[in-house]
Structure 1
Amino acid sequence: MWPIIMAFARSYAVYIAWPVAAVVGFVGYNFESVIRKDKNTPWKVKSIQEERDERILKDVSNKDCTEVDSLKEKRFVPKTILGRNDS
């Protein structure tokens, strides 16, 4: 009996799993909208990239460009490989 049930489940798994997943997704979506306090998603006026650019410009404008580190001290070289930013 079990081999027949397993063969049926293997053959019709898509037809069984898809409606179950659709019902679970529908219920979860509606449950989330019920428990969420703020119904409207807050939208940013400026994008993340614009905020980052403004922050970098403000940092650069506040810094004195005539004061630079000595190249002999090598502060720009990380001490370990973990300190490098390879992104």
Structure 2
Amino acid sequence: MWPVLINMLRVNAPYITLPFAAIIGVIGYNIERIISDRTTPFKNSVEEQRDERMLKNLENVDAKEMESLKEKKFVPRTIFEKNVSPSLQTKNT
């Protein structure tokens, strides 16, 4: 009798466990919905945050202290000065 019962349970295991798993899943979902707070606060995008930060930095800088664009100090003199690590750059004024 036991081997026949165990064989029947083994063959029909998905049909037996599926309703129990579904009931446990529905109960867990509803408990989580009641307990948790599912609202997500609004945050600006990374680009907007960066733009705001750059504007704040520009507000703090005096226009007279900024370098002139006519001098073009930001353009490298040779190709070897392009993409140089900040630790290797020399400040020639």
TM-score range, shorter chain: 0.3 to 0.5
**Structure with the greater alpha carbon radius of gyration:** 2
Please give the TM-score of this superposition, normalised by the length of structure 1: 0.45
